[in-house]
Amino acid sequence: MRSVQRTTPSPDGWRSWRRDPELIRDVALVSAAGGVVGVSFGAIAVAGGLPVWVPVVMSLVVYAGSAQFSAVGVLLAGGGPVAAAATGLLLNTRTAAFSLAVAETIGTGRTARLVGAHLVTDETVAFALAQRDPARRRAAFWLSGVALFAVWNVGVLLGALAGTALGDTAVYGLDAAFPAVLAALVLPALRGDAGLRRAALPGAAVALALTPAVPAGVPVLLALTGLFLYRAPVRKESA
């Protein structure tokens, strides 16, 4: 007979993040970067002529950094709400693949899946997949998800209230913060999975090649083509 593997995380796994200073440090750093970029987003939106409530409500309801920047860019360029929403939806379709990757991590309850789906981002998925143990993976997802959501929205509110007082936010180079942090998060997973490397390298090449020619956020979406080359490792089941 095949042994039945227990899939329900133990309570100790949920509390393990409290004993993991590295995870807490990484979440704090990513959250701080998210808050700073949130301030930039709120300031750009209001400085461009949008009312304060637009970036604030968008951040609460949509909660998707690159999609929000692109949607606001469309609005500030004179596009209508339909065009802005369509742009945001296009750029955010990559989270469909991310959701599949962490579907079991989020939980099985209806409330957990509803809230968890809203917290699926590049960062929370990277945090979750960097963990090997299922319980730690779930704890990392929820810890990073709640922290990022809270700090991002506070940052957006502060930036929107500050308006034009911050000046040109592009001069601070804030756009480099998230890519650098994400690269550090995914490197451990790439080192341990040859199949993942075979998928990630072509995907990265596609994103880099198309970055000068397409709007922000689209290269990340197109990089998902690398998933067609991914082969999950075969797990041997004990008899």
> Where in the chain are the domains?
19-165
Would you say residue 118 has pLDDT above 90? no
pLDDT digits (tens, 9 = 90+) for 139-156: 889 999 999 999 999 999
Report the candidate in 108, 102, 110 with the shortest Cα–Cα distance to residue 127. 102
CA triple 85-89-102, angle to 5 deg = 145
More confident residue, 169 or 37: 37
Kindly report which listed range (57-61, 218-222, 226-230) carries the lowest average pLDDT score. 226-230
Would you say residue 26 has pLDDT above 70? yes
pLDDT digits (tens, 9 = 90+) for 155-177: 999 989 987 676 666 666 655 55
Helices of type H across the chain = 11-15, 21-47, 53-61, 65-76, 81-92, 94-101, 103-106, 110-118, 122-129, 134-162, 177-192, 194-210, 218-222
- In this structure, are residues 55 and 68 in contact, taking their beta carbons and an 8 Å threshold? yes
Average pLDDT, integer, range 182-189 = 63
The token pair at 203 is: 């995907």
Average pLDDT, integer, range 118-143 = 86
pTM tops 0.75, yes or no:
no
pLDDT band at 53 (very low <50, low <70, confident <90, very high): very high
More confident residue, 4 or 142: 142
Count of other CB atoms within 10 angstroms of residue 115: 16
CA triple 90-232-105, angle to 5 deg = 65
